[in-house]
Amino acid sequence: MKTKLSSLTVYALGFVLVFSSLATAQQTDPLPSWNDGKTKQSIIDFVNTVTTHDSPGFVSAHDRIATFDNDGTLWAEQPMYTQLAFAIDRVKELAPQHPEWKTEEPFASLLNGDVKGAMAGGMKSVVQIIMATHAGMTTEEFETIVKDWIATAKHPVTKRPYTEMVYQPMLELLAYLRANEFKTFIVSGGGIEFMRPWTEKVYGIPPEQVVGSSIKTKFEILDGEAVLVRLPELNFIDDKEGKPVGINSHIGLRPIAAFGNSDGDLEMLQYATSGTGVRFGLIVHHTDAKREWAYDRKSSIGHLDKALDAAPENGWTVVDMKQDWKVIYPMEKQ
Amino acid sequence: MKTKLSSLTVYALGFVLVFSSLATAQQTDPLPSWNDGKTKQSIIDFVNTVTTHDSPGFVSAHDRIATFDNDGTLWAEQPMYTQLAFAIDRVKELAPQHPEWKTEEPFASLLNGDVKGAMAGGMKSVVQIIMATHAGMTTEEFETIVKDWIATAKHPVTKRPYTEMVYQPMLELLAYLRANEFKTFIVSGGGIEFMRPWTEKVYGIPPEQVVGSSIKTKFEILDGEAVLVRLPELNFIDDKEGKPVGINSHIGLRPIAAFGNSDGDLEMLQYATSGTGVRFGLIVHHTDAKREWAYDRKSSIGHLDKALDAAPENGWTVVDMKQDWKVIYPMEKQ
Residues in Cβ contact with A40 at an 8 Å cutoff, skipping those fewer than 6 apart: A31, A34, A324
**Do the Cβ atoms of A254 and B224 come within 8 Å?**
no
Indicate the pLDDT class of residue A123, thresholds 50, 70 and 90: confident
CA distances from A209 to A67, A206, B108, B213, B288 (A): 9, 6, 44, 19, 39
Neighbour-count burial for B17-27, b at 16+ CB within 10 Å, e otherwise: eeeeeeeeeee
C-alpha A86/C-alpha A198 separation (Å) is 14
User: Mutate which of A249, A250, A256 to disrupt the B interface (most B C-beta within 10 Å)?
Assistant: A249
Average pLDDT over residues A44-66: 96
Nearest CB neighbour to B207, from listed A206, A242, A251: A251
Nearest residue to A230 via CA among A192, A195, A200: A192
C-beta atoms of B253 and A193 within 8 A = no
- Return the exposure string of A141-160: e unless at least 16 CB atoms fall within 10 Å of the residue's CB, then b: ebbebbeebbeeeebeeeee
pLDDT of residue A122: 85
At B31, phi and psi to the nearest 5? -130, 65
- Minimum Cα–Cα distance from B251: chain A residue: A208
Contact between A40 and A232 (Cβ < 8 Å): no
> Residue A43 pLDDT > 80, yes or no?
yes
Closest by Cβ to A207, choosing from B139, B196, B253 = B253
Residue in A closest to B184 by C-alpha: A208
Q: Is the pLDDT of residue A315 over 90?
A: yes
Are residues B244 and A252, on separate chains, in Cβ contact within 8 Å?
no
Tell me how far CA of residue A11 lies from CA of A14, A22, B240, B329, in angstroms: 5, 17, 73, 64
Candidate from B209, B253, B267 with C-beta closest to A219: B267
Q: What is the pLDDT of residue B28?
A: 87
Rg (CA), chain A: 23
- Measured CA to CA, the distance from residue B244 to residue B56 in angstroms comes to 26
pLDDT at A329 over 70: yes
Beta bridge partners of A214: A236
Q: What DSSP character marks residue A166?
A: B
Per-residue pLDDT at A36: 97
Residue A5, judged by CB atoms within 10 A of its CB (0-12, 13-18, 19+), counts as: exposed
DSSP secondary structure, B78-127, as one string: -SS-HHHHHHHHHHHHHGGG-GGGGTSTTHHHHHTT-HHHHGGGTHHHHH
Answer whether residue A2 shows pLDDT above 90: no
Q: Output b/e per residue, B212-232; b: 16+ Cβ within 10 A.
A: bbbbbbebeeeeeebbbbbee
Non-local (6+) Cβ contacts of B256 within 8 A are B50, B59, B63, B64, B65, B66, B272, B275, B277, B278, B279, B280
Nearest to A91 by CA among A78, A110, A116: A110
pLDDT, residue B27, reads: 57
Task: For helices B306-314 and B266-273, give the axis angle rounded to 10 degrees.
Answer: 20
For chain A, give percent helix, strand, coil, nearest 5: 50, 20, 30
Which parts of chain B register pLDDT below 50? Answer: 1-6, 8, 10, 14, 16-23
Residues of B in contact with A225 (CB under 8 A): 274
Between A67 and A122, the higher pLDDT residue: A67
Q: For residue B334, what pLDDT is reported?
A: 66
Question: Chain A window 185-244: which residues touch B at a Cβ cutoff of 8 Å?
Answer: 192-193, 196, 200, 206-210, 214, 217-219, 221, 224-226, 228, 241-242, 244
CB-CB under 8 Å, B274 with A226: yes
Q: What is the pLDDT of residue B1?
A: 39
- Can you say how many angstroms the Cα of residue B282 is from the centroid of all Cα atoms in its chain? 12
How far apart CA A289 and CA A292 sit, in angstroms, is 5
- The verdict on a CB contact (< 8 Å) between A196 and B270 is no
SS3 content of chain B, % helix, strand, coil (to 5): 50, 20, 30
d(CA A332, CA B248): 37
What is the structure's pLDDT at A171? Answer: 98
Q: How far is the C-alpha of A232 from the C-alpha of A137, rounded, in Å?
A: 10
Residue of A nearest to B253 (CA): A207
Q: What is the mean pLDDT of residues A75-85?
A: 96
CB contact under 8 A, A271 and B226: yes
- pLDDT tens, residue by residue, A154-187: 999 999 999 999 999 999 999 999 999 999 999 9
CB contact under 8 A, B271 and A219: yes
Check residue A287 and give its pLDDT. Answer: 98
Q: Tell me whether B252 touches chain A (CB under 8 Å).
A: yes
Q: Do B219 and A253 touch (CB under 8 A)?
A: no
Mean pLDDT of A51-68: 96
What is the nearest CA distance from B225 to chain A, expressed in angstroms?
Answer: 6
Q: What is the pLDDT of residue B2?
A: 42
Check whether A276 has a pLDDT greater than 90: no
